[in-house]
Structure 1
Amino acid sequence: MPLARVHNLSISLDGFATGEPQSAEAPFGHAGERLHEWMFATRFWDSSGSAGLDDALAQRHGQGIGAEIMGANKFGPPGWQDDPDWTGWWGSNPPFRSPTFVLTHRPRPPVEMEGGTTFHFLDVPPAEALETAFEAAEGQDVRIGGGATVVRDFVAAGLVDLMHLVQVPIVLGRGVRIWDGLEATEDDYDIEAVSSPSGVTHLTFTRKPEGSVHG
């Protein structure tokens, strides 16, 4: 059965997946790019980057994915809904290469991009969004792409089968936290922690069989 998966979501030691305030000039607020420096150093991001643990785990991001779900704050900066020409951060050829569902309270018509990405805009609860994405994925897995609020909502609803978080050794102090409201999440998942020479820790949450939603 297909799975709902989270990959490469970087968080600080205090659990923040982004800083604040977010803007077009600073998509991750005061965090800047510090949460993602580990990824930029891998072949996953740049062919001249390093192979190894970080790269091997980062590469899983796209394997077997047939559709993505993302939140409004991942698709654009605050206020993008007021710009009818906004089509995301990624230019004319976004990296998703699949149907991509953007959760927003202000839906708009689908936008077809180069390379196989079509953005669809939905104002529905997590379970309904996931059902729609699974239909579009045609038997492949669905990636819950973030940001932190969307991942948190899907975990809280019991809809995430596998979650890969990357804990980066920085303290942000403010922003959007992944863990708020998710007390005792560890009861539903088998958790593996692997430290990398780069200084990050990869945390993999695999839903226990008795709690599996999708198989």
Structure 2
Amino acid sequence: MGSVVVEVSPSLDGYVAGSGVSLERPFGDAGDRLHHWLGGGGSAPTPADRAAAERLFATTGAIVIGRRMFDVGIGPWGEDGAFGMPVFVVTSRPADELVKGPTTFTFVTEGVLRAVELARAEAGDRDVVVNGGADVIQQAVAAGLVDEVRLHVVPVLLGGGTRLFERPLDDRVELERTDVVTTPLATHLTFRIGRPLPEPASPGAQISTAR
């Protein structure tokens, strides 16, 4: 079985979209700035940027997204649905399965855990990627569903918008950085999620010594 991976492009100050997100402006006033490393805005991605983008499709068997991301994205994604694989949409609004070329969108009303379960069954030994938006990513991390986080940190300060991590956690989440690649357009970071470290003993704690 593959891993459950969060993959997303935040700004340096931690926003995954600017202010004023709408159907007409999926990333608000950030426009396509957070995706220049993917070729947005007429930019020229480096080979390392292209390799980071290709990794998503090379190792992934299913995608999990939120309904808001679906609503603002389904138009720009075009007739093939962009992903080319099964996509499970976490939503409170039931809807019939939607097929866009090689992409099938299944709407899951039982929550993010159920969406990840269905995506795992579909993906087999490939990864499941939780691709956004921020709320679904936060839910997945808080529920302990995520094994790996891939951040493509873009060198820009948006100053406001939708924060990637805002939901409170019951426990601290420790990360182990396993890879970092830097280009002019993004810093591509990969982390494995580990167990919380034990709290350090207080300065006044008594230390017992076995004799």
Shorter-normalised TM-score: what interval? 0.7 to 0.9
Deviates more, 1:97-106 or 1:188-197: 188-197
Q: 1:163 aligns with which of 131, 149, 153?
A: 149
Return the letter of the residue paired with 1:89.
Answer: P
Q: 1:176 aligns with which of 152, 162, 172?
A: 162
Cα pair distance change 1:132/1:13, threshold 3 Å: same
TM-score normalised by the chain length of structure 2: 0.81
The structure 2 residue matched to 1:107, chosen from 86, 94, 101, is 94
Cα 1:188–1:16 change in 2 (3 A) is same
1:94 maps onto 2:81 in alignment: yes
Partner of 2:208: none
Structure 2 vs 1, CA of residues 187 and 70 (structure 1 numbering), >3 Å: closer, same or farther? closer
Structural mapping, 1:1-215, within 5 Å: 1-7=1-7, 9-40=8-39, 50-77=45-72, 88-114=75-101, 116-181=102-167, 187-192=173-178, 194=180, 196-208=182-194
Quick one: percent identity of the two aligned structures? 37
Gaps of 5+ in 1: 81-86
Q: Distance in 2 between matches of 1:105 and 1:178?
A: 21
Contact residue 162 and residue 204 of structure 1 kept, 8 A = yes
The amino acid that maps onto 2:175 is Y
* Secondary structure in 2 matching 1:11: coil
Q: Distance in 2 between matches of 1:119 and 1:106?
A: 14
Name which of structure 1's ranges 95-104 and 186-195 shifts more when overlaid on structure 2. Answer: 186-195
How many angstroms does 1:199 deviate by? 4.6
Alpha-carbon spacing, 1:51–1:38, altered in 2? closer, same or farther (3 Å): closer
Contact kept, 8 Å, 1:67 with 1:134, in 2: the verdict is yes
- Contact 1:193–1:201 (CA under 8 A) maintained in structure 2: no
Deviation at 1:193, TM superposition (A): 6.4
RMSD: 2.6
* Contact 1:144–1:151 (Cα < 8 Å) also in 2: yes
Q: Give the Cα separation in 2 of the matches to 1:196 and 1:128.
A: 35
Write the distance in 1 (CA, Å) between the matches of 2:98 and 2:34.
29
Equivalent residue of 2:9, what SS? strand
Listed as ranges, the gaps of 5+ residues in structure 2 are: 197-211
- State the 1:140 CA deviation: 2.1
SS in 1 for 2:89: strand
> Is the CA contact 1:149–1:176 (under 8 Å) kept in the aligned structure 2?
no
For the 8 Å contact 1:68–1:144, the answer to whether it is kept is yes
| Count of residue correspondences | 195
